[in-house]
Amino acid sequence: MVQTNNRIFDEMARMMNDAAGVAQGVRREVDTLFRTQAEKMLRDLDVVSREEFEAVKEMARLAREENDALKARLDALEAKSAARPKKTSPGPEEGVA
């Protein structure tokens, strides 16, 4: 009787093992199917990828830095121009003697 019980338990353990393997396989298939459908929906919505977003974000950062540098340069030139004495050209009345 001990032999019979062991065989039954062995069979049950093997069936449980097989069922767990099948369940893992089904889970992988569902994950793959879900991921594929999600990627398809995102492509259809024309959503940008993370890489594209990061590239544009970096371009915007560089453009802001360049803009700030140009603004500082323009401010310096305007200050320099304002500090120079203004030359007045003789008007039509002053040039006639």
Q: Is 43 in the same domain as 55?
A: no
Domain limits at 29?
1-47
More confident residue, 89 or 75: 75
pLDDT greater than 50 at residue 1:
no
Query: Is the domain of 56 the same as that of 77?
Result: yes
Q: Could you tell me which residue, 86 or 95, shows the higher pLDDT?
A: 86
In a domain, 74, yes or no: yes
Number of domains composing the chain: 2
Would you say residue 55 lies in a domain?
yes
Which DSSP state fits 45? T
Segment 8-64, tens digit of pLDDT: 888 888 888 888 888 899 999 999 999 999 988 888 888 888 999 999 999 999 999
Annotate 39-83 with three-state secondary structure. Answer: HHHHHHCCCCCHHHHHHHHHHHHHHHHHHHHHHHHHHHHHHHHHH
Residues 12 and 40 in one domain: yes
| pLDDT higher than 90, residue 85 | no
